[in-house]
Amino acid sequence: MAAARGKTIIEVTVVGPDRKGVVADITNFIFRNGGNIEKINQNVVRGLFGMQLEASFAEIDRKQLDDGLKQLSKKLSMEIKVHYQEPDRLQNVAIFVSKEPHCLAKLLEAKKKGEIKANIPVVIGSDTTLKPMADEVGIPFHAVAHIDQAEAENKILQLIDQYNIDLIVLARYMRILTPNFVWRYPNRIINIHPSLLPAFPGAYAYVQAYERGAKIVGCTAHFVTEDLDQGPIISQESFKVSKGDTLDTIKKKGQEMEAATLLEAVRLYLENKLEVYWGKVYVKDDERTKK
């Protein structure tokens, strides 16, 4: 979400063991500092509390806000982070990858051609397979290959803070992010899934489609939530399977479509064309989506 004209939007995330009074303390602090709450969402899973809050400020004292939230974090014994959506600043996009290059290649090509207006200051991989692609265009690549997911996510969180990331793009990233991670970036993580969700979930969607004789194969770009592959859908594309198609031809067509669909979702996000209400994505008027 981009900053409203003449205002600064902040996003506050709170994560920690569930306890009473957290929502009241945070919202009262925002009001006392002249903020207007735009959105708020909270959830508790297995005793872990997560809250996301967006607030707008006509004027803002960042040091005062940061110091106050640090004090609240100590008082509540919870992790509290704030992200500023400053006006007129290019957004910073982190791309997460594993071994498949097609989505990363499409995004880097789009950045080079000016098809998306954003900074890509970092690529984060579950291994080093795609490091040469990032090196070629001068983007820092960090491999986070810890076996323990909590350890891996802690390292990734540090990198996200270091590069002041606004949007996370999962470009065929083959690790499942935990609620502890996802809650920190509500509607700021975009994933591409190789099927028309909710059909054929999981990593072997094309194999399932081929083996079951699917007549239509597609892909889905969606926001990531704590429920695996169930987040709000941004865009979907599909193609018909012909008699002559093999698993290899289906996969090739599908990967090309994945890359294009993910790019389209990222573009819509960066151009502030997306709004999420009650778990559904609404696309604002966009000439390129009118076909």
pLDDT digits (tens, 9 = 90+) for 80-120: 988 887 767 889 999 999 999 999 999 999 999 999 999 99
pLDDT above 50 (res 69): yes
Cis omega (within 30 of 0) for bond into 101: no
Q: What is the pLDDT of residues 167-207, one digit of tens each?
A: 999 999 999 898 888 888 888 999 999 888 766 566 777 78
Q: Which amino acid is at 218?
A: G
- Considering the domain architecture, whether residues 156 and 262 belong to the same structural domain is answered as yes
Query: pLDDT above 70 covers what percent of the chain?
Result: 93
Which tokens hold the place of 177?
A: 């992010």
- Considering the domain architecture, whether residues 179 and 272 belong to the same structural domain is answered as yes
Could you tell me the CATH number of the domain that includes residue 66? Answer: 3.30.70.260
- Considering the domain architecture, whether residues 232 and 142 belong to the same structural domain is answered as yes
Q: What is the pLDDT of residues 131-145, one digit of tens each?
A: 999 999 999 999 998
Per-residue pLDDT at 3: 43
* Residue 144 in domain: yes
- Considering the domain architecture, whether residues 143 and 243 belong to the same structural domain is answered as yes
Catalytic residue among 135, 227, 229, 286: 229
pLDDT above 90 (res 44): no
Coil, strand, or helix at residue 224?
A: coil
* Residue 161 in domain: yes
Q: What is the pLDDT of residues 219-246, one digit of tens each?
A: 999 999 887 778 899 999 999 988 898 9
Based on the number of CB atoms within 10 Å of its own CB, is 246 exposed (0-12), middle (13-18) or buried (19 or more)? exposed
- Considering the domain architecture, whether residues 68 and 181 belong to the same structural domain is answered as no
Domain that includes residue 222, residue range: 92-289
- Considering the domain architecture, whether residues 70 and 161 belong to the same structural domain is answered as no
Could you tell me the CATH number of the domain that includes residue 165? Answer: 3.40.50.170
- Considering the domain architecture, whether residues 37 and 123 belong to the same structural domain is answered as no
70-79, 135-144, 206-215 — most confident range: 135-144
* Residue 2 in domain: no
- Considering the domain architecture, whether residues 17 and 98 belong to the same structural domain is answered as no
The mean of the pLDDT values for the chain is 88
- Considering the domain architecture, whether residues 46 and 157 belong to the same structural domain is answered as no
| Domains held by the chain: number | 2
- Considering the domain architecture, whether residues 115 and 256 belong to the same structural domain is answered as yes
Strands (E), the chain: 8-17, 36-45, 48-57, 79-85, 92-97, 119-125, 141-143, 167-170, 189-193, 216-223, 233-240, 274-277, 280-283
- Considering the domain architecture, whether residues 124 and 153 belong to the same structural domain is answered as yes
Whether 161 is catalytic is: no
- Considering the domain architecture, whether residues 108 and 181 belong to the same structural domain is answered as yes
> Could you tell me the pTM of the whole model?
0.81
